[in-house]
Amino acid sequence: MTLVGERAPRFDLPDTEGRIWQLEPAVPTVVVFTCNHCPYALAWHERLMAVAREYAERGVRMLAVNPNDAERYPRDSEAQMQARVQAGEFDGVPYLRDASQQVARSYDARTTPDVFVVDDQGTVRYRGAPDGDYDDPAAGAQWLRSALDALLEGEDPDPPETEPVGCSIKWKP
Amino acid sequence: MHVELLFWAGCPSHGKALRELQEVLRESGYDPEAVIVREIKTDDDAASEGFVGSPTIRIDGADVQPLADEPTGLTCRIYRRRDGRISPTPDPADVREAVLAASSAAPGAERDRAAGRAR
């Protein structure tokens, strides 16, 4: 199932301080499913934060969503999420808890990370990996950047979809 | 030398880890095909094997990057490369060092290596 070209599922999710976040109308948004315990998510993390910083100036917002079952994976607990935010690892990007996992399911998210770009009309325009090599910081989340550049120039991302790479989302039993 | 790679299918890193492990063994004069690859499928398996994440590489029973106080379970393992980067797979230099250490410690290791085989 791909969501590209379809309306992005709406959600209301709390960040680590309990503030509720939603997709905002007219704001291009990157929704990243991520977590604390996955080496792929961690390897890509700095690249994603760099995108959030640089594209914020162009009106793009990033929301990070942790959907993992924290009972079986305690590193993904709210306390551990809060610790990373307080340590400055999210650089202002809201780190949201999808405790019911309904948001991850509605996006058909498969891995951490799994990146979705939503345009200012609320349509998913890109889905997949940040770039082609988690192991190469120089890859620079280029696939995500290209998708955002296309979007901001009124064009279609090419490709609109890549294969997400990372740890499987840890669904509740 | 007894070389094993334990993996959990929920983490996609074991293919790369196996390729890099086999390359290190080849460079070190051991048979790269002698790696014993075992899948860990359940939490009970993880507990009984002392499996702290995928992939786990053991050479003569010793972890190539030992972890202290890490809980067992079906998860992806976080490694640190020597340049500080986080990675789903161990640094090949750490694997090479572990192979060399085991090679030096094992009785008859030089003979095995000369024969180009891993026991």
A71 contacts chain B (CB < 8 A): no
User: What's the token pair of residue B51?
Assistant: 């499996």
**Residue in the structure block whose two tokens are 């780190």:** A95
Q: What is the pLDDT of residue B48?
A: 95
Taking CA–CA distances from B80, the nearest residue in chain A reads A39
User: What's the token pair of residue A102?
Assistant: 């309904």
Q: Is B16 helix (H, G, I), strand (E, B) or coil?
A: helix
Mutate to test the interface with A, among B79, B86, B87, B91 (most CBs of A within 10 A): B86
Contact status, residue A37 vs residue A134, Cβ threshold 8 Å: no
Rounded to the nearest 10°, the torsion over CA B45, B51, B55, B56 is: -130
From the DSSP assignment, how many helices (H) and strands (E) are in chain B? Answer: 4, 6
Asked whether the beta carbons of residue B76 and residue A135 sit closer than 8 angstroms, the reply is no
Instruction: List, for residues B2-24, the tens digit of each pLDDT value.
Output: 999 999 998 999 999 999 999 99
Question: Can you say whether residue A64 is alpha, beta or left, with left for phi > 0 and alpha for psi between -120 and 50 degrees?
Answer: beta
Cβ-based neighbours of B44, under 8 Å, separated by 6 or more: none
Which residues in B have their CB inside 8 Å of a CB on A?
Answer: 10-13, 71, 73, 75-79, 85-88
Q: What is the pLDDT of residue B104?
A: 85
Measured CA to CA, the distance from residue A118 to residue B67 in angstroms comes to 40
CA A122 vs. chain centroid, Å, equals 15
Q: What is the pLDDT of residue B113?
A: 53
**Residue in the structure block whose two tokens are 């230099």:** B93
Does B119 score more than 50 pLDDT? no
Domain layout of chain A by residue ranges: 13-168
Measured CA to CA, the distance from residue A72 to residue B74 in angstroms comes to 9
CA A57 vs. chain centroid, Å, equals 18
Q: What is the pLDDT of residue B94?
A: 94
Measured CA to CA, the distance from residue A141 to residue A50 in angstroms comes to 9
Please name the member of A40, A73, A74 whose beta carbon is closest to the beta carbon of B88: A40
Asked whether the beta carbons of residue B13 and residue A39 sit closer than 8 angstroms, the reply is yes
B106 — pLDDT class (breaks 50, 70, 90): low
List chain A residues with pLDDT less than 70: 1-2
Pairing of strands B86-87, A167-168: unpaired
Asked whether the beta carbons of residue A42 and residue B86 sit closer than 8 angstroms, the reply is yes
Chain A hits for B79, CB-CB cut-off 8 Å, are 39
Asked whether the beta carbons of residue A39 and residue B73 sit closer than 8 angstroms, the reply is no
| Number of residues that make up chain A | 173
**B86 min Cα distance to partner chain A (Å):** 5
Residues 2-61 (A) with a CB less than 8 A from some CB of B: 37-40, 42-43
Taking CA–CA distances from B84, the nearest residue in chain A reads A43
Phi, psi angles (nearest 5°) of residue A149: -60, -45
Across the strands, what pairs with B38?
B6
- Is the domain A13-168 a CATH 3.40.30.10 member? yes
Nearest to A93 by CA among A121, A66, A74, A69: A66
Q: Is A126 helix (H, G, I), strand (E, B) or coil?
A: strand
Exposed e or buried b per residue across B52-89, where buried means at least 16 C-beta atoms within 10 angstroms of its C-beta: bbbbbbbbbeeebeeeeeeebbbbbbbbebeeebbbbb
Asked whether the beta carbons of residue A38 and residue B77 sit closer than 8 angstroms, the reply is no
Instruction: List, for residues A28-72, the tens digit of each pLDDT value.
Output: 999 999 999 999 999 999 999 999 999 999 999 999 999 999 998
